[in-house]
Copies of this chain bind each other. A is one copy, B any other.
Amino acid sequence: MSEERFMDKIIEVCLRRGFVNPTAEIYGGAGGFYDYGPLGTLMRQKIIDLWRQSFVLDEDNIFEVAGSVLLPEAVFKASGHLDSFEDPLVQCEQCNSMFKADTIIKDATSQIAEGLSLDELDKIISKNNISCPNCKGTLSKTREFNLMFKTEIGPTGGINGYLRPETAQNIFINFKRLVNFMRNKLPFGIAQMGSSFRNEISPRNFLIRGREFEQMEIEMFYDHDKENEHPRFHEVADIEINVVTREMQEKGWDEPLKVTTEAAVEEKLIPNQYLAYYLAMETEMLQAMGVPEDSFWFRHMQDNEAPHYSAGNFDLEADLSIGHMEIIGNALRTDYDLQKHAKATNSNFEIAMPDGKKVVPHVCEPSLGVGRIFYTVLEKCFREDNRGWTWFQFPPVVAPLEVAVFPLMKKDGLAELAQEIHQELKDAGYLSFYDESGKIGKRYARADEIGIPYCVTVDYDSLKEYSVTIRDRDTMKQIKLPLEDLEIALGELMDGEADFDEFKEFEQIEK
């Protein structure tokens, strides 16, 4: 399977260069847990910062909160997770391995079995003679397995607590306070970035399906009667998104439908403006991160695939080496959660509108998986030449390090000047890395491998005439320019305001 090997190549770089590694690997790990290393953490933070800036801070009616990860049982009893947040589990009667029933069916028959009843799953397994993928043993009957991690809060005799399986519930249970903070005016959004936990039966595919993961979510509350009056929809109306409708899924499809968000709402391909707004935002964000626009689309999920609270889900699916993978979930949660918590706590979650109408708002939820986006960016930016050398062609906006500064040699004051330049770039806010060890070609290769967009080299000319050389990772072109212009030139290159060929006034060196 050459596809598996492609992911393995990326994992190999991740392990060796400090992006990501399995948690507790010296103890054999625990399956589905990953630690971000030094470079991974820098890049992950950039992804979070990009989301925070465009999805939260740039908006006037959206605020971020940060709630507890561990929540008391009552919350999940009301939300339905205690009863419904389950996966169908089958176990091998010979080797005791456990599997998610619909996954094992999909692997064996390519049939999508998500959301089917236990009976239906058992029938498919039996009809297709599906046996244990590990030992070919007979599989047990399917049973439900709740995916929440359970613990006990307080000393003996305490209450049950669960690690949240999604960040959203913190927002719903704080609804009264949040509405008050927003002065009872719809629409408004509450964002949250944080860890969620799902005790997956068989975690797989590296960062794509882990047991602990981070989400960037927004619960956007709006009056359902005004679902097509999003105040900023006009700003995204012309943005083209890729859509896979239910009809296309029934008939079979080769390419997603490319359509503007405005047309998508008008033609009812997307249920409303609130949802369409986020599909546009996500499209723009992924493209800015180096994920090509033709490599992802929004698929209208089938009813039996969507979560228990959903009135319409549009997953952002990416075309990855391991198949079509859900990277972002977009759900219309209606007023399901608010009504559940209102009932369970005897609360009133109605908001009085200016015209006197009372409304329990509906919710549109874009839920972005940090690890999934992280992996998608890694895969889509991965490059390999015919010598087997690899590098990440990260756009500067997600590159874990933005510039590397190299003295050609350590001696004759080159190292000192290079250190000084490195420090000045850091002070100016660049993620700069200083490296003086090894041959210069080796240093370029090491920098390319981790996707540093620009290398700045300090050589003897630098001492004589205060010049430095900037090398572009992708073209390997070099330009020499006065030291005093470095900071501005780098800024323009990183922002895409200039490219190498525009620096005509400077001496250009083709490699």
Which A residues are within 8 Å of any B CB, using their own CB? 15, 17-18, 21, 23-31, 33-42, 44-45, 57-58, 60, 63-72, 74-75, 78, 89, 96, 98, 145, 149-159, 161, 163, 170, 173-174, 176-178, 181, 183, 190, 195, 197, 199, 201, 211-212, 341, 344-345, 347, 426, 431, 434, 437
Contacts and interface: CB of A to CB of B under 8 A. Distances in A.
A404 to B, nearest CB: 13
28 contacts: A23-B71, A26-B345, A27-B74, A27-B345, A29-B72, A30-B153, A30-B161, A31-B154, A33-B70, A35-B170, A36-B66, A37-B174, A38-B65, A38-B190, A40-B66, A41-B63, A45-B64, A57-B431, A58-B426, A69-B69, A69-B195, A69-B212, A96-B157, A98-B155, A149-B152, A153-B211, A155-B199, A158-B199
B30 A173 contact: no
Given A34-B68, A35-B66, A155-B145, A173 B27 contact: yes
Interface of A is mostly: mixed
Contacts of A201: 154-155
A173 B24 contact: yes
B155 A70 contact: no
A33 B68 contact: yes
A247 to B, nearest CB: 37
A211 B23 contact: no
B64 A177 contact: no
A163 B145 contact: no
A74 B15 CA distance: 22
B211 A70 contact: yes
Contacts of A211: 70, 153
A268 B23 CA distance: 39
Contacts of A98: 154-156
A37 B18 contact: no
Contacts of A75: 24, 27
A178 B16 CA distance: 10
A64 to B, nearest CB: 5
A201 B74 CA distance: 21
Nearest to A160: B30
Contacts of A24: 68, 71-72, 74-75, 173
B183 A437 contact: yes
Contacts of A197: 70
Given A27-B345, A151-B151, A155-B145, A70 B37 contact: no
Contacts of A58: 426
